[in-house]
Structure 1
Amino acid sequence: MQQKLYKLLHEYYGNVNLHFEVEKVLKEARRSIDYNNPFKNLVITILSQNTSDANAARAYLSLERVIGELSPRKVFATRLEKIKRAIKVCGLYNSKARTIKNLAKYIVENYDSDLSRLIKMPAEQARSELLKIPGIGEKTADVFLGYVMGHDVAPIDTHIRRVSQRLGLVRSGAKYSEIQEALKHSFPRGKLLRGHELLIRLGRDFCKAKSPKCSECPVRSVCKFARESSIS
């Protein structure tokens, strides 16, 4: 399964940037997002929860238009209502605004607004520190480890959870850590982060929550759900 799953996904999607919805929004706005910036990475990941990548990007750009270049001190000094209004497009803006505000507060008070000390830590220590921040969960912490710190890790979102279960990699209701462990055995070493991107894309394009397109899916030959669906 290890080589076959990745091979099928790679053959279908190739090496293209799979976040093309974000690219389109940024191109239209003639703006960019620095995903390697530690604070900005955390903010965009929070905004992306339970919404499309495009709306997360729109919310991020809106927030920058309102308060300027994003930094922990600037966000900490901004009124909560102002943040809410700026990010409304991405949904769940009340809770996301509080999380972003609390994140900025925590970084100002515990890191003097500078996360460079955090990114020099070993992966597990950095992850543990990130999980101490109110509103930061495992997925957000792992996105940080992968895209900011360069570790080979697979953050788990709702798409990956659904796809992993349908492929037969994990049982229904598997824990976050169990899915990560299964993916370590399902992708070649050094390809976990790319595998994360490929599975998200697969979940959006084919393995949808409702009405999955099994007959068109590029990995149907190794999928338990597709096999069982064709039998029934």
Structure 2
Amino acid sequence: MLTKKQWEYCLEQFGEMFPDAHCELVHANPFELLIATLLSAQCTDVLVNRVTADLFKKYKTPEDYLAVEVAELENDIRSIGLYRNKAKNIRALSQLLIDEYGGIVPPNRDILMTFPGVGRKTANVVVSNAFGIPAMAVDTHVERVAKRLGMNRWKDSPLAVEEKIMRWTPREQWTDTHHRIIFFGRYHCKAQNPNCPECPLLPLCREGKKRMKERAD
């Protein structure tokens, strides 16, 4: 397993490789980020941005999403996976925002997790990017990188990954680290074809060393 000292080295390398890593979901306010992140489940940010480019021109407030029939909203997000369920959740959380929070997205992860369609990852993304609250959102990229490096065991849950990264990373770095690991996983340590030969972390990466050995054999 990775040591804390090795993890500190990983953080340095993530920062050097992707110093400008950021949230790639295009949004203008917390409500748009909440909708975009909900839509991004099991879907790429690129596709979500393509859809929200028009969606956010048409729907600007929670009331707007409730002013149309659900079939119309479904049609507007039809190219996104699970669009029927996501349309239902968007309308339900819009109603909840209006009824309980004056139409304003609350800057609180635990409250956001009570919203329809909003899990821990989505709530962490919103509070960290929209409100500047340090958080560590674990998506598929973060989980894959942590487990390949040996930071976590393969059987560990996303929550276990989140907790260990937070424990070993300074709090003020949580949000930047989240973005940098995502960029590292999305553009370098890819799911299907990781760039192990040119990776600065190869000497301490259990998965990378295994892959390189298999190539040599």
TM-score under structure 1 length normalisation:
0.82
The two structures, once aligned, show a CA RMSD in angstroms of 2.0
Give how far 1:164 is off: 0.9
Q: 1:193, 1:222 → 2: CA distance?
A: 24
1:155 to 137, 144, 160: 137
Is 1:178 aligned with 2:160? Answer: yes
Gaps of 5+ in 2: 1-5
The 8 Å contact of residues 5 and 222 in structure 1, kept in 2 or not, is answered as no
Q: One-letter code of the match for 1:10?
A: G
Task: Show the counterpart of 2:175.
Answer: 193
Change (3 A) 1:185 1:112: closer
Is 1:33 aligned with 2:4? Answer: no
The 8 Å contact of residues 18 and 198 in structure 1, kept in 2 or not, is answered as no
Give how far 1:170 is off: 0.8
Task: Show the counterpart of 1:84.
Answer: 74
Percent of residue pairs identical: 27
Q: 2:104, 2:23 → 1: CA distance?
A: 30
Gaps of 5+ in 1: 23-31, 120-125
The 8 Å contact of residues 206 and 216 in structure 1, kept in 2 or not, is answered as no
The 8 Å contact of residues 47 and 56 in structure 1, kept in 2 or not, is answered as yes
2:7 to 2, 15, 20: 2
The 8 Å contact of residues 6 and 188 in structure 1, kept in 2 or not, is answered as no
| Structure 1 SS opposite 2:169 | coil
Q: 1:10, 1:106 → 2: CA distance?
A: 39
2:49 to 37, 43, 57: 57
Q: One-letter code of the match for 1:14?
A: P
The 8 Å contact of residues 121 and 139 in structure 2, kept in 1 or not, is answered as yes
Give how far 1:107 is off: 0.9
Give how far 1:18 is off: 6.7
Task: Show the counterpart of 1:227.
Answer: 209
Q: 2:183, 2:110 → 1: CA distance?
A: 28
Give how far 1:8 is off: 0.9
Q: CA-to-partner distance for each residue in 1:14-50, whole Å, 9 max, x for gaps?
A: 235573xx6xxxxxxxxx631xx22211101112222
Q: 2:103, 2:51 → 1: CA distance?
A: 22
Q: 2:12, 2:150 → 1: CA distance?
A: 17
Task: Show the counterpart of 1:112.
Answer: 102
Q: 2:9, 2:132 → 1: CA distance?
A: 25
**Number of residue pairs matched?**
209
Give how far 1:186 is off: 4.2
